[in-house]
Amino acid sequence: MVRIPLLPRLAFTEEKLRGEIATMKYIAEKTTIPIPRLHGYSVTQNNILGLPFMLVEYIEAKPLQGTPLQKLDESKKTHLYSQLANIYVQLFHQLFDRIGALTLDENDGKRIFSSNRPLNVDVNDQEVGGLDICRHLSSKQSFASTIDYIYFIVKLIFNDFYRGRDFIHHRDDAQNYLYSIHMSQSILMEWVKPELNHGPFIPMHGDFRPSNILVDDDFSILSVLDWEWSHTVPGQMFVPPFWLADTGVMGIGSITTIFPDIGEASAFAHAAHEQEYAFYNGKRPWQDLPIAKLWPARHDDLNLFIAHGLLQPHCFGNVYWNRLDSHYYGEDSKERVKAFFDLKIRKSEAHAAEQKCQETKGNPENMRRV
C-alpha cells in the first residue's frame, strides 16, 4: 500500500515523514508492537511518483474506532486492555535523555535520535494556519527537562489565543480562555515532580486513537498505524489513553465523565502492572515495578487530566475549567476573573480579550469554534 502525505495539510512534510519512518524502524527493531512492514520510501519528490511516499504492508483488519468499549463483553475488554497495556509497557522501557523525535540520518537510511524537535498535531495546525509557532520551536530544538517542554506548550496555547482564529461567543469567553492560560502556569510548575524533571523520557505514539488501532473479530490487535507525530514525552505525560471511557478529549474531567475516566484509567493501570510483572518474569515485587510507581493502582485524577490537557493543547482550556480551576482556586471563578482583568497590570490582557471579540464579529466566516 502506498501512503502519500496530504501536502496542503502539512507544514513539515519531509520532517514528518522522516520522523515516522525512523520511528517505525525503531519500533520494529526494539519491540514486538505490531506495525505494518515498511517496504520502501522516499522523503523527497525526486522519484517516479514526484511525491514523498511510504510503501507499507496492507493489513486486513478493522479499526477499533466505532466500538463502544464500555459495552464490550468483559472477556474481550480484558483481552483488549492487556494488549494495549503491553504496547504501553514496551514503550515505557524505551528510555531517552531528551524530549524530541527520532529521524533519519543525512542519507535518509538509518534512524537517529539527536536534535530533532517534537512535532505534534497542534504545532502542525498552527503552522499551516499561519500562526508562526516555529519562532518558538526551531527545527533542532529538543528539551532536556519537563519544565522547559511545558513552558513551550504554554507558549503554544498563548499563541493560539493571540494569533488563532477561534470562535469567541462574547467577552467572557475570551477572558476565561486567557485567564485559564495565565492561572494554569503556577499549577503546571507545581505539578512537575523534581525527580522526573530531567527524565528519562519515554517514546509515545503521537496519535494513539481507535482509528489507528486495527483489530480482528476477537479484538486481537493486528497493527498500530500512523506513527507520524511520535516523540518522547515526560514520564508524567505518559498516561493511559483518554478514550477508554468512550470520552472525547474535550470532555475530559467534566462532571459527567470524571468517574468513568478515572475508573478506566485505573483498570488500564492494573493491566499494565500485570504486563510488566510478566515482563520481569515475576522476579520483581508488584510494588517495585517501575510502571507501578508511575501509575498507582488508583490513578490520580489531577495527574491524568493535566497530562491529557498538555498532550492536547487545543483542549487545555476545557480541562482547566472542567477540573483544575475549582480544585486550586475555589468556586468564586467569576469574581476572580473580573478581579484579574481589573488590575492595572492586566490592561494589555483585557485589551487582547476585547480585540479577540472584535475579530470574531468582523470575520465570523473565518473563525473556528473552540
Q: What are the DSSP calls for 110-157, one per residue?
A: SEE-SS-----HHHHHHHHTT--GGGSS-TT--BSSHHHHHHHHHHHH
Q: Is the pLDDT of residue 288 over 50?
A: yes
Structurally, the chain folds into a number of domains equal to 1
The whole-number pLDDT of residue 207 equals: 94
Q: How many CA atoms lie within 13 A of 248 on its CB side?
A: 6
| SS3 of residue 107 by DSSP | coil
Whether 55 is in a domain gets the answer no
CA–CA distances in Å: residue 115 to residues 91, 97, 140, 209, 272: 20, 11, 5, 27, 31
Whether 17 is in a domain gets the answer no
CA–CA distances in Å: residue 145 to residues 183, 234, 236, 240, 359: 21, 8, 12, 22, 37
The whole-number pLDDT of residue 8 equals: 80
Whether 145 is in a domain gets the answer yes
Longest distance between any two alpha carbons in the chain, whole Å: 65
Q: Is the pLDDT of residue 22 over 80?
A: yes
Q: Is the pLDDT of residue 285 over 50?
A: yes
Q: Is the pLDDT of residue 254 over 60?
A: no
The whole-number pLDDT of residue 253 equals: 56
CA 100 – CA 147 distance, rounded (Å): 14
Q: What's the first-to-final CA gap in the chain, in angstroms?
A: 36
The whole-number pLDDT of residue 107 equals: 92
Whether 291 is in a domain gets the answer yes
Domain carrying residue 96: 61-102+115-369
306-343, pLDDT tens digit by residue? 999 999 999 999 999 999 999 999 999 999 999 999 99
Q: What is the mean pLDDT of residues 332-356?
A: 96
CA 216 – CA 212 distance, rounded (Å): 13
Whether 14 is in a domain gets the answer no
Whether 127 is in a domain gets the answer yes
Specify the range with the lowest mean pLDDT, choosing from 172-186, 293-307, 356-370. Answer: 356-370
Q: What is the mean pLDDT of residues 4-18?
A: 89
Phi, psi (deg, nearest 5) at residue 241: -60, 145
Specify the range with the lowest mean pLDDT, choosing from 8-17, 240-249, 298-307, 358-367. Answer: 358-367
Confidence of residue 369 (pLDDT cuts 50, 70, 90): very low
Whether 28 is in a domain gets the answer no
Whether 1 is in a domain gets the answer no
Among 96, 99, 72, 101, smallest CA distance to 84 is for 72
Q: Where are the beta strands (DSSP E) in the chain?
A: 2-3, 38-42, 53-56, 62-63, 103-104, 111-112, 166-167, 202-204, 213-215, 221-224, 231-233, 368-369
The whole-number pLDDT of residue 302 equals: 85
Report the amino acid identity of residue 152.
Answer: F
Q: What's the mean per-residue pLDDT of the chain? A: 91
Higher per-residue confidence, 194 vs 260: 194
The whole-number pLDDT of residue 119 equals: 97
Grid cell 471579540 in the structure block, residue: 357
The whole-number pLDDT of residue 249 equals: 61
Specify the range with the lowest mean pLDDT, choosing from 86-95, 166-175, 201-210, 346-355. Answer: 166-175
| SS3 of residue 168 by DSSP | coil
Burial of 11 (0-12, 13-18, 19+ CB in 10 A): middle
150-184, pLDDT tens digit by residue? 999 999 999 999 999 776 778 899 999 999 999 99
Is cis: bond before 200, omega within 30 of 0?
Answer: yes
Q: Is the pLDDT of residue 256 over 50?
A: no
CA 89 – CA 274 distance, rounded (Å): 10
Instruction: Give the strand pairing for 202-204 and 231-233.
Output: antiparallel
User: Cβ(111)–Cβ(26) under 8 Å?
Assistant: yes
User: What percent of the chain is modeled with pLDDT above 90?
Assistant: 74
Confidence of residue 370 (pLDDT cuts 50, 70, 90): very low
Which residues, in sequence order, are CB contacts of 226 under 8 Å at separation 6+?
20, 207, 212
39-71, pLDDT tens digit by residue? 999 998 888 888 899 999 999 999 999 999 988
Q: Is the pLDDT of residue 99 over 80?
A: yes
